[in-house]
Amino acid sequence: MNVLGNDWNKAYKKSARVVGDVIGKYHPHGDLAVYYTIVRMAQPFSLRYMLVDGQGNFGSIDGDSAAAMRYTEIRLAKIAHELMA
Does the pLDDT at position 2 exceed 90? no
| pLDDT score, position 73 | 97
Whole-angstrom distance, CA of residue 74 vs CA of residue 80: 13
Domain extent, residue 77, equals 2-83
Provide φ and ψ at 21, rounded to 5°.
Answer: -65, -40
CATH number at residue 25: 3.90.199.10
| 71 flagged as catalytic | yes
Please report, for residues 13, 26, 48, the alpha-carbon distance to residue 70 in angstroms, rounded to integers and kept in the order given: 10, 20, 26
Number of domains the chain is built from: 1
Band of residue 21 on the pLDDT scale cut at 50, 70, 90: very high
Single out the catalytic residue among 12, 35, 49, 71.
71
CA nearest neighbour of 31 among 59, 70, 1: 70
Band of residue 4 on the pLDDT scale cut at 50, 70, 90: confident
| Mean per-residue pLDDT of the chain | 93
